[in-house]
Amino acid sequence: MFYAMCGPQKVDQHFGTHPNEAWWASQVVCAVVEDVPSGPSEDKEANEGERFYKFIDENGKERWIKSSRMLLSEPPDFGSDLSRTITAFTEVRIPYWTSQPHSWITYHAFTLLELDHGQMFAMCERKTDMLELVVGKVEIPMAFFKAFRAMGPGRNPGRCAQEPRQPVTSRISLRQLLGWIDGPVEERWVPYDLLKANCQHFAADLQSFLLDPAAPEHHSENPLLAAPLNWKEERASAMASVARNPKVLKYLPDRLRRDREVVLLAVSNDGNALKYVPEQLRADPEVAMAALRQNGYALPYVHASIRQRRDVVMAAVAQNGYILCYTVERHRQDRDIVLAAVRADAHALRYVSAGLRYDPEVMMAASFQNPLAVFRSAMC
């Protein structure tokens, strides 16, 4: 199994029929945390989807918590816990510098959620291009949650600063939160942008939804509502709707989402629509290439069987150089792919292999595209 720098790329996962299966698999990481009697066993084979944390509780007792990552192709199913109500949230900030003033905006933000007045807790955050969710069993205290991450190593709770606790009276359930993520959040999800789409933006959107879920900005806009009434039965009408708005593909019945001509029309106009395409067509090279030529950011949604093919990667980075972060090491060592990436976006330098990062030709190509990005890369 391969995990790229920008997020998990699951190569052995069986997908279902959920319209957002590719997005959940590629952009969301979810983990469940629970108390366990002891830490990892020395004679047990390591599992990269599991992580163990050791805590000392308020009574001085040692406790082990296990975090288990879930493989997703749709919103996670937490059984009866989905009906639990979110009764409060707390924003947690991690300053980039230990001595910076509280008023500075240079911090990472994530949100802790209280369910049923503290019977359970959850954590939700954006980290680069990924949405991370952590849900705890009833015995996990809130204080521990500041250390958890759904993906990657944990964090130091001592660096975390809590904002005031905010009660939630909207009676939003965990199920409704996941429905919001599956709808408006997914539909408006864009690549990480320091100024427009970062962790603080997501935290603000999440908290706004919890406080006022009825606000118009927190609802999906089904583009088929404005389509002809006979769209369900007539392929031609579906084609016309997709041509006007490729996101219509998400709302089409399965038989039309599996129609190759409908799919090609959609991804040719919006490569990101590839995330709504059924699994077998995301493995179709022509469909994948049509999507990537329009939007290289669609690479995570390409089926794993062809995602790391050289021609597929080349098409993606030529359109969006930053997408190099989703590629395996051999592509980061490939001069032609690297040159195409930095010519499209010099910020891709941070993902170039060490052997090529300071290559004169690569540096020159990146400098022509964005000299400031080259300077920043040299400082890292």
SS (H, E, C) 274-312: HHHCCHHHHCCHHHHHHHHHHCHHHHHHCCHHHHCCHHH
Q: Is residue 256 over pLDDT 70?
A: yes
CA 162-210-35 angle, 5° bins: 60
pLDDT of residue 4: 40
Q: How much is the pTM?
A: 0.85
Pairing of strands 86-95, 107-115: antiparallel
Neighbours of 360 (CB within 10 A): 7
In tens, the pLDDT along 102-140 reads: 889 999 999 999 999 999 999 999 998 999 999 998 788
Distance CA 253, CA 233 (A): 10
In tens, the pLDDT along 224-253 reads: 655 554 555 678 888 988 999 999 999 888
Cα-based distances in Å from 253 to 184, 246, 247, 261, 362: 20, 14, 13, 15, 46
Do 334 and 15 touch, CB atoms closer than 8 A? no
Q: Is residue 42 over pLDDT 50?
A: yes
Beta bridge partners of 35: 65
Distance CA 209, CA 218 (A): 6
Main-chain phi, psi angles of 317, to 5 degrees: -70, -25
Residue 270 CA, distance from chain mean position: 19
DSSP state of 224: G
Share of the chain above pLDDT 70, in %: 90
Tokens representing 173?
């359930």
Tokens representing 103?
């008023």
Per-residue pLDDT band for 372 (boundaries 50, 70, 90) equals confident
CA 162-119-83 angle, 5° bins: 110
Do 34 and 2 touch, CB atoms closer than 8 A? no
